[in-house]
Each structure stands twice: as C-alpha cells, then as structure tokens.
C-alpha cells in the first residue's frame, strides 16, 4: 500500500500555460511573471509543455527555450517537469533527452494517443523510456484525450519494473482506479496525483498525494490550504475550501483546456488570452459566465504584468 505523504514533486503541481503574444509567439516575459506568481501562491512544481501548455503546437526550439527559462526562474524553489509524451516511443525519448539537457527535474509522459496500443505495449513503451533517461517519470493516464486507459495491472507492472517511474497523474475522472492501485501496489516510493481539480479532495481520501492542477494558476493558496487541512485531519475545513473552489474547478473546463484558464489569467493581468489554432477564444457569452464564477472565487492576484 502506498503513502500519500512525502511526494517527490510536492502536493501542488501546476500544469502551466504557455503564454503567447498577439502574434502567437511565446511571450517570455509573461512566462517569467507566471512562474513567479505560481511560486508565490503555493505551487511545489510546474509542468511545462503539457496539454495545458498547448504542447502539440510547440516546436523543438520553443520547448528548449521554455525548459531553460522556467528552470532558471524557478530559482530552485519548485521542481520543473517537462511534458514530453508523444505517440512514438522514439520521439518521446528524443524529447526526454532534450528536457534533461535543459535541466528539467522530471518528466510527465502521457500514454500514446491515437494509435491505441494494448496494455502490454504501454508497459514496453514506458520501460523503454525509463531505460533511456536519468530523470524521474510521472506517468499520465488521460483516456478522454488518448482513447486508451492505462489499467491498474499495467501501471503496477511499470512501477515495479522501472524505479525511475515514481508517480502517476490520474485523469480518468474517477477515484476507482486510484483506490484500487493504492491498495495493491507494493512500492512505498510511488505516488498518485489526480489530474482533475474537482477530484483533489476525494483522491486524497483514497491515497492520492496531490494534484496536477489547472486551477492553481488562480487559487493556489486555497488549494494548498485545502490539502494541508486534509493532511492534518481538519476535514471540515478541507471540505469548506473544496466547496468554495468547486464552481471554478468546473468552470475552467467549460471549454477545451487551456481556453478558460488563459482568459482568466488575462483578466488578472498575467498573460494574454491568445491561443494557437486549432483552439479558439471563448465566446462573449462564455467569457461572461467564467467571469461571474471568478468574481465569487478566492482568486490569487499577485505579480501582475
């Protein structure tokens, strides 16, 4: 059985947006402001070039620049994970080497998408990657995006044959797999994070160690307080904060991520809402709904541009 304490990337990992200027180039100054903001509001690690970072639209040079800049601006205060997963094992290893060379502290590796490998193929995919990197790996299971579920048995086999695999981001939208895995796995040094903000508290209750979050761009302090309250046994306070933040947790996914969080960040002055196609901005009606939710949420407003 696993422990939900002493997780290697801390409890609050932010899946960081990649800010773009109006010309769609990476806005490096906004990157610096966002990293400073996340450190100040409780993030213990960030994921760069993940889904929230619009990784499918980034070229290799942009990845390199982002890894180096975020690592520099983290000042050793938070861990920097690189989202390097693709649906090619060889290409994923290439990106892992790139991130490692830029000083990343770990890797987030999504299950291969579109080509729908069997469970045995997923095991071999991660085993091959683990043999070709010195960095700790967080698996990423998000069947809603990849159309393949990394099952409990496959996850346990990967964890127990690859010492570099230290964590899982579970974005199945359920606590079922987390609970089953937490009870079955023999390793004590393997941690499970939820990838769904609204399930942070339920996941902690069944063995989760924390969250890889989008909402922490906006309510990092409250999320930290919620998890701290849970871990010290103040469940009433943890539930109170969960209820307070729940509308925002849900509202940030009313449109494909990171559409909503980028609009929200533009409203508090941290970056522009610019997206790269095929993502498009919120409609005026969607903006009004999100802004109404924000007005009632405990938003962290620090380090504005």
Per-residue pLDDT reduced to its tens digit, 19-73: 999 999 999 999 999 999 999 999 999 999 999 999 999 999 999 999 999 999 9
**Sole residue written with tokens 């796995």:** 185
Asked whether residue 304 carries a pLDDT value surpassing 60, the answer given is no
* Mean pLDDT to the nearest integer, 171-193: 92
Asked whether residue 82 carries a pLDDT value surpassing 70, the answer given is yes
How far apart, in whole angstroms, are the C-alpha atoms of residue 141 and residue 60? 24
Contacts with 141 (C-beta within 8 Å, 6 or more apart), sequence order: 111, 149, 150, 155, 168, 169, 170, 171, 172, 177
Within the chain, how many helices (H) and strands (E) appear?
A: 12, 8
- pLDDT (0 to 100) of residue 188: 87
* Mean pLDDT to the nearest integer, 282-300: 96
Question: pLDDT digits over 223-280, tens only?
Answer: 999 999 999 999 999 999 999 999 999 999 999 999 999 999 999 999 999 999 999 9
* Mean pLDDT to the nearest integer, 279-304: 90
Tell me the pLDDT band of 301, cut-offs 50, 70 and 90.
confident
- pLDDT (0 to 100) of residue 282: 98
The beta-carbon contacts of 151-159 under 8 Å, at least 24 apart in sequence, are 151/119, 151/177, 152/177, 152/180, 152/181, 152/184, 153/119, 154/119, 154/120, 154/122, 154/123, 155/181, 155/185, 156/181, 156/184, 156/185, 157/123, 158/122, 158/123, 158/126, 158/127, 159/185, 159/187, 159/190
Taking the whole predicted model, whether its pTM rises above 0.75 is answered as yes
Backbone φ and ψ of 199, nearest 5°? -105, 10
Asked whether residue 7 carries a pLDDT value surpassing 90, the answer given is no
Domain 12-295 class? alpha beta
Tell me the pLDDT band of 162, cut-offs 50, 70 and 90.
very high
- pLDDT (0 to 100) of residue 2: 62
Instruction: Give the torsion sign (CA, 126, 127, 131, 134).
Output: positive
Tell me the pLDDT band of 302, cut-offs 50, 70 and 90.
low
Backbone φ and ψ of 255, nearest 5°? -135, 165
How far apart, in whole angstroms, are the C-alpha atoms of residue 268 and residue 272? 10
* Percent over 90 (pLDDT), the chain: 94
Backbone φ and ψ of 48, nearest 5°? -105, 140
When mean pLDDT is compared across 3-17, 120-134, 219-233, 242-256, the lowest value belongs to 3-17
User: HSE (CB half, 13 Å, CA atoms) of 175?
Assistant: 17
Question: pLDDT digits over 108-121, tens only?
Answer: 999 999 999 999 99
- pLDDT (0 to 100) of residue 1: 54
Contact indicator for 239, 223 with CB cutoff of 8 Å:
no
Asked whether residue 136 carries a pLDDT value surpassing 60, the answer given is yes
C-alpha to C-alpha distances, 45 to 11, 16, 105, 244, nearest whole angstrom:
8, 10, 9, 24
Backbone φ and ψ of 10, nearest 5°? 75, 175
Structure tokens at 216: 């922490």
The whole-chain average pLDDT of the chain stands at: 95
- For residue 158, the surrounding DSSP H or E stretch is helix 152-161
* Mean pLDDT to the nearest integer, 114-136: 97
- pLDDT (0 to 100) of residue 143: 96
CB environment 122-147: b (16+ within 10 A), e (fewer)? bbebbbebbebbebbbbbbbbeeebe
Active site residues: 140, 169
Asked whether residue 4 carries a pLDDT value surpassing 90, the answer given is no
């Amino acid at each position: 059985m696993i422990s939900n304490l002493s997780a290697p990337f801390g409890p609050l990992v932010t899946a960081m947006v990649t800010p773009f200027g109006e010309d769609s180039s990476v806005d490096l100054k906004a990157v610096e402001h966002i990293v400073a903001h996340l450190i100040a509001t409780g993030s213990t690690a960030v994921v760069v070039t993940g889904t929230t970072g619009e990784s499918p639209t980034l070229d290799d040079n942009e990845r390199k620049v982002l890894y180096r800049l975020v690592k520099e601006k983290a000042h050793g205060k938070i861990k920097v994970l690189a989202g390097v997963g693709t649906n090619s094992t060889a290409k994923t290893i290439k990106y892992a080497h790139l991130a490692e060379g830029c000083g990343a502290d770990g890797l987030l590796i999504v299950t291969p998408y579109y080509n729908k490998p069997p469970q045995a193929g997923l095991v071999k995919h991660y085993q091959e990657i683990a043999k070709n990197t010195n960095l700790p790996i967080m698996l990423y299971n998000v069947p809603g995006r990849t159309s393949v579920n990394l099952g409990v048995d496959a996850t346990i086999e990967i964890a127990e044959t690859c010492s570099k695999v230290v964590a899982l981001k579970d974005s199945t939208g359920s606590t079922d797999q987390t609970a089953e895995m937490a009870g079955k796995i023999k390793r004590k040094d393997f941690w499970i994070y939820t990838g769904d903000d609204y399930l942070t508290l339920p996941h902690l209750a069944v063995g989760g160690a924390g969250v890889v979050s989008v909402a922490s761009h906006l309510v990092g302090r409250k999320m930290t307080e919620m998890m701290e309250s849970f871990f010290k046994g103040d469940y009433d306070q943890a539930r109170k904060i969960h209820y307070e933040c729940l509308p925002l947790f849900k509202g940030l996914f009313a449109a494909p991520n990171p559409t909503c969080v980028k609009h929200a960040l533009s409203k508090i002055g941290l970056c522009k809402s610019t997206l790269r196609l095929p993502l498009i901005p919120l409609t005026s009606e969607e903006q009004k709904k999100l802004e109404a939710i924000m007005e009632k949420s405990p938003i962290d407003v620090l380090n504005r541009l």
